[in-house]
Structure 1
């Protein structure tokens, strides 16, 4: 579907007294990519009110420790197209003095997010140093251990579940407990059970994600799940959550596949959810995947590959994170880290948004096509001939059966160049008549000429199709909502005038 629009969406930040812009023009992202195909137009972004995206989540983390400010970037969320956001409950921020609770900070965020049409995924963490043996309030902080602190934890979880019943259905357990090496699988599983039982007692239909492990270690996962099983508590949980940062996003899936086998064997009813992953947009001194010369281009490539690799493995996916984070008072993270889809200033400057990064627009493009309107085709029957190793996944559009095949060069860490390699894709049962080639980073749509496609029985072959280290996909031209290129509009209008 073609639609001609030239628009800029302007968001006013009343509190900050400034205005920020999300660029919806066809040139919102420009790179050096040259696929050698005729440019037809650019994808039109779709917001959360236009599509359903139950497989995607956007991270809005660390607000509990005041390392980021939801109010600084909230206006940018609906336009991204991802409906569910991840929040952290923040026991230590809510109960600064024992027995005195102030949920106002979290109330405001949850109520504001829901008013925008967003859904909440609420995580139960971290500890509270206000109690002796209360655990730490930052990443790597230990679980509460004293009898008094554990009772206070139970009370906080109970109050939070009661307060947000009817507002929050999706919950998660303590974030990355396995980073603290004192936490063994049995400790993590038992603390998950303790917390989940409180939530389920108050919200029987709650969907709870278990574990939230930093690692993608199949044996560690199996030990945790086996503990759930031995205690007859698997039914408390809906998902099993893992993170697992890797420099090359595609190398994670060897272990993810092994973890899937564990889940199938020990806890077959549980769904898998990648609960936190992303990379930075520049060199940063701390955090996962730090001390590497990332750029906005390589961040966008990394995020798009992680997103589409996840759902290609039938795993729900979380993008980390909405905005940059200004970590303080922690040894592992120190200073500004640039994982955000939005570049933001630090705490001293009120976390104000400085710019919209390329990764924001790439995520917009991904979710505008790969959403609840398509179904994954398991073991997509595509034979590839290429000098590079590819990741490749196929989807079917629910309403009409049209296909979408997405692919990229998976061999390396995303690079800061856009060189392409030709590939031949032979698809058994392929359904294509007027195919186009689409780049997820720019959203640009290109025509695939007739001499690059052949049909033999039920097999469609695409020859000399450009491939690079960011996801691109082939689908039917009329299945896309895109803005026709200004050049094509001009050429058509000029030709009509000459014919008059």
Structure 2
């Protein structure tokens, strides 16, 4: 029998870091952030973590809670597992869920339930006891049983769980059986489920969708069948190897459709599940189009994913998953056993953090609710006309701008496939921020390494734009450019993260 540890690629992470994350050029190193703040010290955040599949016991939750108490993600998506809660008709065992919800709360993390999947007590043809993907609306007698279960679940967690998502990826056959995918039938399932939850928790936040990718056709079918009347938020899972690819368009299309079908009440929009493997082979998710994955590439992807989602404007953002899913066979609908899911921030089996864990931790601590999305000016130019093809590429980094505690934050990166492992370069950046914000001591925070660099001088030694040139309206710096986010901000912002770094 293959042990979980045997499925983990043996990677020399230190060598990968040396190769892919050299010190940044053109800036002066002044320290490194070593975070000490626990998750409980962060008041609120849009950022969350996947904590699914415990209905199938696919990882050991007790080994993960200590890590979540340091991570800084404030939400966890948890599947409720009808099949595990009701193993005898009409009798419910919520003890295993109590342990999860209470342990997450102790770690400073709020639970969002994903109420999903079937029960072999009411679905005699399911091939496995977890009944993954089997939908109660297609079975005689299953809907009353499902309604009773959901209502009992809501009564039990009243006051502890306020966010309730209905089903998982109902728009693909892997999670919608035994009938063909149907937006109208999904809307009916959501109506039934939402009514049962709100009977016990009238102010519950009901999340619909949880769709694989954006799938506007499925959403339109569901909205025309009344989905908007049942939900307060809509979530979707835009998996892709280049995180930024078409993301704004997907967000805006879904935003428009939700607004058109709910003109008097804004329905929130979540990025509800998204992950990236830390190795090339031996896992379920090679369908993503991978050719050179490792722990450092995964860490780059995660930093880009979080910041792109925050830039686009999602109301909540979830990374999938806290830990690798490899302790039990991984199943979707049907009887096929899939390879493990190796997208965790934490290694399955050993439960040691991957390189990506500290990277995600830096992002969670810096981009909590004290950091707000703000449009600031950031113009990149390449001053080497001798290489025009490189200049064209370099002149268009991806930018996300924010403010925190009275200071601007400029996060930027080269949005190539992270598997290309683009070598660091330098580029001119012309920055403008409101005079209500201050940038007295500019520093650059490398989110992948935690290193902090002083940005000593603008390109113009006076620091004053040449107002005779109509193209110049900000302060120009020569900065490093990488294929992962670095953040230019004031030293006070970095010092305020409660780490050991001090400006010197």
Determine the structure 2 residue equivalent to 1:317.
Answer: 317
Distance 1:66 1:248, change over 3 A: same
Q: Which aligned pairs between 1:199-214 and structure 2 lie closer than 5 A? A: 199-214=197-212
Q: Which aligned pairs between 1:5-154 and structure 2 lie closer than 5 A? A: 32-36=21-25, 37-45=27-35, 46-132=37-123, 137=130, 139-154=132-147
How far apart, in 2, do the equivalents of 1:272 and 1:440 lie? Answer: 26
**Contact 1:134–1:145 (CA<8 Å) still a contact in 2?**
no
Determine the structure 2 residue equivalent to 1:365.
Answer: 362
**Contact 1:139–1:176 (CA<8 Å) still a contact in 2?**
no
Determine the structure 1 residue equivalent to 2:448.
Answer: 441
**Contact 2:421–2:483 (CA<8 Å) still a contact in 1?**
no
Distance 1:49 1:129, change over 3 A: same
Q: Does 1:385 align with 2:385?
A: no
Determine the structure 2 residue equivalent to 1:466.
Answer: 480
1:384 match: secondary structure: strand
**Contact 1:80–1:363 (CA<8 Å) still a contact in 2?**
yes
**Contact 1:134–1:144 (CA<8 Å) still a contact in 2?**
no
Please list the CA deviations of residues 359-418 of structure 1 after superposition, one character each: whole Å capped at 9, or x if unmatched.
Answer: 11111111111111121114x332232533322111122x4x211111111132444454
2:449 match: secondary structure: coil
**Contact 1:56–1:82 (CA<8 Å) still a contact in 2?**
yes
1:58 match: secondary structure: strand
How far apart, in 2, do the equivalents of 1:390 and 1:417 lie? Answer: 13
1:179 to 151, 167, 172: 172
Determine the structure 1 residue equivalent to 2:7.
Answer: none
Most deviating of 255-264 and 120-129: 255-264
Q: Which aligned pairs between 1:363-442 and structure 2 lie closer than 5 A? A: 363-378=360-375, 380-386=376-382, 387-388=393-394, 389-397=396-404, 399=405, 401-416=406-421, 418-427=423-432, 429=434, 431-442=438-449
Determine the structure 2 residue equivalent to 1:328.
Answer: 329
How far apart, in 2, do the equivalents of 1:435 and 1:329 lie? Answer: 48
TM-score (norm 1): 0.83
Q: Does 1:299 align with 2:298?
A: yes
Please list the CA deviations of residues 408-439 of structure 1 after superposition, one character each: whole Å capped at 9, or x if unmatched.
Answer: 11132444454334242342547422211111
**Contact 1:248–1:414 (CA<8 Å) still a contact in 2?**
no
How far apart, in 1, do the equivalents of 2:337 and 2:475 lie? Answer: 49
**Contact 1:83–1:119 (CA<8 Å) still a contact in 2?**
yes
Q: CA deviation at 1:445?
A: 0.9
2:138 match: secondary structure: coil
**Contact 2:34–2:501 (CA<8 Å) still a contact in 1?**
no
Distance 1:332 1:432, change over 3 A: farther
Distance 1:49 1:64, change over 3 A: same
Q: CA deviation at 1:290?
A: 6.7
How far apart, in 2, do the equivalents of 1:102 and 1:479 lie? Answer: 46
How far apart, in 2, do the equivalents of 1:138 and 1:247 lie? Answer: 30
Q: Does 1:265 align with 2:256?
A: no
1:160 match: secondary structure: helix
TM-score (norm 2): 0.82
Distance 1:390 1:167, change over 3 A: same
How far apart, in 2, do the equivalents of 1:449 and 1:193 lie? Answer: 58
How far apart, in 1, do the equivalents of 2:478 and 2:71 lie? Answer: 33
Distance 1:469 1:333, change over 3 A: farther
How far apart, in 1, do the equivalents of 2:293 and 2:412 lie? Answer: 22
Q: Does 1:283 align with 2:304?
A: no
Determine the structure 1 residue equivalent to 2:12.
Answer: none
Q: CA deviation at 1:304?
A: 1.0
How far apart, in 2, do the equivalents of 1:186 and 1:272 lie? Answer: 20
Determine the structure 1 residue equivalent to 2:240.
Answer: 246
Distance 1:97 1:313, change over 3 A: same
How far apart, in 2, do the equivalents of 1:324 and 1:132 lie? Answer: 29
**Contact 2:208–2:234 (CA<8 Å) still a contact in 1?**
yes
How far apart, in 1, do the equivalents of 2:225 and 2:267 lie? Answer: 15
**Contact 1:242–1:273 (CA<8 Å) still a contact in 2?**
yes
RMSD over aligned CA atoms reads 2.5
**Contact 2:40–2:107 (CA<8 Å) still a contact in 1?**
no
Q: CA deviation at 1:266?
A: 2.5
Q: Does 1:337 align with 2:341?
A: yes
Distance 1:97 1:259, change over 3 A: same
Structure 1 alignment gaps of length 5 or more: 1-28, 346-351, 490-500
